[in-house]
A and B are shown apart, each in its own frame.
Chain A
Amino acid sequence: MSEVLVVVDHVDGAIRKPTLELLTLARRMGSASAVFIGPADAAAGAAEKLAAHGAEKVYTVDDAPLRGYLVVPKVEVLQHLVEKTSPAAVLLVSGSEGKEIAARLSIRTGSGLITDAVDLDADGTTTQSVFAGSFTVKAKVTTGTPIITVKPNSAPVEETAGAGIVEPVSVAISEGAKAAMVVASQPRKASGRPELTEAAIVVSGGRGTGGDFAPVEALADSLGAAVGASRAAVDSGWMPHSFQVGQTGKTVSPQLYVANGISGAIQHRAGMQTSKTIVAVNKDPEAPIFELVDFGVVGDLHTVLPKVTEEVTTRKG
């Protein structure tokens, strides 16, 4: 069975959930081989976790000589592995870094690239959602090694034992790859809430909050949800850009999306339209967001949300 390379997305060795979803998808197409480019002392722990989610092999690359440089060194490592293993596909998490690695790897290896897949079949056929979620597209790579970036939340995380054979890899990195580097980095403060793109429930607020996100946050916390925001709320400085949902923010596809004081502009829809269930609270009955909802409340969020939070808390007992 061919190998399927899964590029591991992690922070200092802590594997992020979307990578585990990629392992589920990889096993549909072949034998999952994880590629862990990270600190040497975190490799063993990472390999164990990857094996527990079905990785048959784990290629480990000590990132000490690459740290601080942007994507090109990683591209060179992957190029080496693609040439060495002739994999059935290379899977990466859709995100700015994953896409940039994928793009350069595509040109280097003469391989077709599909981004933002939300599903993947055994034969490599992908499903994507385009034009702000109004069309579903099925596509396939026809040239070279399929390189596919997959959105978070596209597959279940499955615990299943893989052999997890660790194979250290070392690759000489070209000088050219070191031309751009990270000068300073400030890790995002943990909010204590689920990661926006990974959350099962997202509660968002827009201009209609008038800058007071407390009712939105309280409802989110009662539901164990992540908090999101429209661009209007971000542009007003009420929430950081990392909370923005939409075309130029995050795309989310949770089980439940609750839009509060958000009108539902096409660019906002682009980031949330594929949510399974959509709920909105808006005081304007004509707001376009109501065209999307499974359940809508016409009302003032400042009075409706605290009451909903109270109800949720009581019902949860």
Chain B
Amino acid sequence: MNIVVCVKYVPDATANRQFEADNTVDRVGVDGLLSELDEYAVEQALQLKEKAEDPTSVTVTALCVGPEQATDAVRKALQMGADAGVLVTDEAVAGSDAPATSLVLAKAVEKLAEENGQADVVMCGMASTDGGMSVVPAMLAERLGLPQVTFASRVEAQGDQVRIKRDSDTATEIVGGRMPLLLSVTDQTGEARYPSFKGIMAAKKKPMSTWSLSDIGVDAGSVGASVAWTVVAETTERPPRTAGEIVTDEDGSGAVALAGFLADKKFI
């Protein structure tokens, strides 16, 4: 079985995230890391492998589209236990929107299929922690012609059958599909493992490829900011919220003051 897990390199959410002058996300000036939400995807991919009848026959490949520094994200996935890594990096990719990103991912998944056989599961996180659109997985599934079972809070696989639990706005559902399929998982699937010392050492010897757009047969003119299907006209930093009134409660005074505030604001 082949599992490809898509991992994104994102600016650290706890750092001061910024936009570039051209309104694209600054991915270079801010420290980056493997998107925390994709750690859950790596974890679930590893668990599918570990629970398989013959784990040695399962290959987990971490795939990332991003700048050169994004090798860090792929390496982290290898340290956690993925078997191989691929980074697609190319000047032309900078500023790509979700449709273009999904195109590059799709072509890379296809190239992996030529080399190692078809992916049975393409695994994604629920959203990237920077763009956070939650649309790349569905776009990728569409491009690959795969069914999608997404936003899993629990994953179970038996043979080529996959069942997931997912919480929609109005119901809790059990959703089923047959491999090959695209699966996306939420942070409800359970803690992602930390790389062990052994894992960190082993990662150094694992195969790691870097591909350019021409390696995967994508025309540089079909990706990047200039051909994006959407344009960001303006980004404005929201003024910090002006510090409000803070009172210290003493024998109920805080509650009275709060109720007064709510009444002034006409909430009562």
Instruction: List residues of chain A with CB under 8 Å of any chain B CB.
Output: 11, 70-72, 95-97, 99-100, 102-104, 106-108, 110-116, 125, 129-144, 176, 179-188, 197, 201, 223, 231, 241-242, 247-248, 255-256, 266-267, 277-279, 281, 285, 290-300, 303-305, 307-308, 310-312, 315-316
Contacts and interface: CB of A to CB of B under 8 A. Distances in A.
A285 B126 CA distance: 34
Contacts of B133: 99, 113, 115-116
Contacts, number: 258
Contacts of A315: 259, 263, 268
B170 A285 contact: no
B148 A70 contact: yes
Contact of A107 (B139, B153, B231): B139
Main secondary structure of the interface of B (DSSP, over half): mixed
Interface residues of B, number: 83
10 contacts: A107-B99, A133-B238, A138-B234, A142-B230, A188-B171, A188-B172, A279-B258, A293-B246, A303-B255, A310-B255
A241 B153 contact: yes
A290 B245 CA distance: 9
A132 B13 contact: yes
A315 B252 CA distance: 16
Nearest to B130: A131
B267 A223 contact: yes
B168 interface: yes
A7 to B, nearest CB: 14
A130 B256 CA distance: 36
Contact of A103 (B132, B142, B175, B257): B142
Nearest to A115: B133
Interface string B229-254: 11111111110110111111100101
Given A130-B132, A295-B245, 18 more contacts: A106-B135, A111-B229, A134-B17, A135-B238, A139-B233, A180-B149, A181-B177, A188-B169, A242-B169, A248-B186, A281-B254, A294-B244, A296-B246, A298-B246, A299-B249, A303-B249, A303-B255, A315-B268
Main secondary structure of the interface of A (DSSP, over half): mixed
A24 B261 CA distance: 32
A68 B148 CA distance: 14
10 residue pairs, one from A and one from B, having the closest CB atoms: A299-B249, A112-B229, A307-B255, A311-B259, A179-B147, A103-B138, A180-B177, A103-B135, A297-B254, A143-B229
Interface of B: 13-14, 17, 19, 23, 37, 97-99, 102, 126-127, 129-130, 132-139, 141-143, 145, 147-151, 153, 163, 166-178, 181, 186-188, 228-238, 240-241, 243-249, 252, 254-259, 261-263, 265, 267-268
A297 B250 CA distance: 10
Nearest to B178: A179
A113 B134 contact: no
B180 to A, nearest CB: 10
Nearest to B153: A241
